[in-house]
Amino acid sequence: MTTSGRQAVVSLGPPHNESSFLHHTRKDRLLKIPYFKAALQEGAFIEGQELRISFKEENPMHFKLLLDFIEDGDCHPHWIEHDTENRSGLEVALQVKETISGSKPMVYDRPKHSFHVSSGSLLATADTHNYFSKVVHTLCLADRYGIEELADNCFLKLHLFPIGTDQLTLLAEEVMDNIPKARSSIYAFVRKHMRLHRHYLSDCEAFNQFVKRETSSKGQGMLELIADTTAQANYIPRALNNGDSMVFCRVSVSAEELNEQYGSDSSYPIKFGSAKFGEIFLSDDIIQKRGLIVVSVERDGSQLAFPSHCFQNLDGTAFKTIDRVQSSCETGCP
């Protein structure tokens, strides 16, 4: 066997721990990664002489995913298509469930459900959260050991997941702990979701525990990500310049309450959402049947339904009714 084809032993986890194990992999695969190339250099370190390297401080299961990527070019959860130009989804089913009790998990169809998750009307299932956790931790390891292709792979996968407050708290905490701010695209991704979820994070137990636990600058950094006052200040003028109608919530309401009051109809294309007092949305300014209005966070984005009495036009004008709109169209509406 050639030197490049020899097997190297990677020891994962602390010694004599039941979660620790040995992983055998080809040395030539490891040598493609600068960190391993330096560590396994023959004659320089004992690791290179014995072809054995230990990672006592790393989580064995997470690090195993990094090694899988080095060997196979992907790791769990795998892409359905390995062709980089046709990565249509992941091999595992990403699922969400309605917040009403007793609801059954449904397949997450991105981007159809993306806003429903951020509004609090849908939640990621436990299995989906575990898959998300794997991707986040693998992303952090990829950055730590300088494996750019794996970091890009994981970041692309994050865009496919339903991200609720629990997922966002995990992501933000791990990113702030392990990812340098030089990776601006990752921090921009976190900030975007912080803005979408800012009104619901105060009700998230995991988030509140994190903030209380952290007296360092990290806890303050988390709060700054939520506030992101510059982005919020720019949002309203930008929407008004586009001629968009804007409404603000004057009565806090949850998707669970609305489903109980109006009944849940799975065939109805627009789901009920959750909103807190003061939250601002885009709207078509029209009261639909049953006294509902339809709102969204961005133009041509996913929509949610709410009772019209819970909202008010930002400019103080009254909502139009669908009957009045239809009547005006019949008498000359373009």
Can you name the residues that pair with 286 across neighbouring β-strands? 320
Q: Which residue has the higher pLDDT, 98 or 225?
A: 98
- pLDDT of 62 reads 92
- Quote the tokens at residue 104: 């059954």
- Quote the tokens at residue 65: 């995913």
**With contact defined as beta carbons under 8 Å apart, do 35 and 145 qualify?**
yes
Residue 48: pLDDT band by 50, 70, 90 thresholds?
Answer: very low
Residue 121 CB burial class (10 angstroms; 0-12, 13-18, ≥19): buried
Give Rg (Cα) of the chain: 25
pLDDT over 80 at 75, yes or no: yes
DSSP category for residue 161:
S
pTM beyond 0.85: no
**With contact defined as beta carbons under 8 Å apart, do 23 and 10 qualify?**
yes
**With contact defined as beta carbons under 8 Å apart, do 132 and 286 qualify?**
no
Contacts for 31 with CB less than 8 Å, ≥ 6 apart:
4, 37, 40
Q: Which residue has the higher pLDDT, 125 or 121?
A: 125
Residue 148 CB burial class (10 angstroms; 0-12, 13-18, ≥19): exposed
Query: Residues 133-156: what's their mean pLDDT?
Result: 96
- pLDDT of 307 reads 93
pLDDT over 50 at 274, yes or no: yes
CA nearest neighbour of 175 among 196, 161, 154: 154
- Quote the tokens at residue 84: 């980089």
- pLDDT of 214 reads 63
- pLDDT of 310 reads 94
Length of the chain: 334
Alpha helix locations (H) across 92-228? 114-118, 126-144, 148-158, 165-178, 184-197, 205-213, 217-227
Between CA 21 and CA 27, with CA 23 as vertex, the angle to 5 degrees is 150
Residue 129: pLDDT band by 50, 70, 90 thresholds?
Answer: very high
Q: Which of 116-120, 169-173, 176-180, 240-244 has the lowest mean pLDDT?
A: 240-244
**With contact defined as beta carbons under 8 Å apart, do 225 and 190 qualify?**
yes
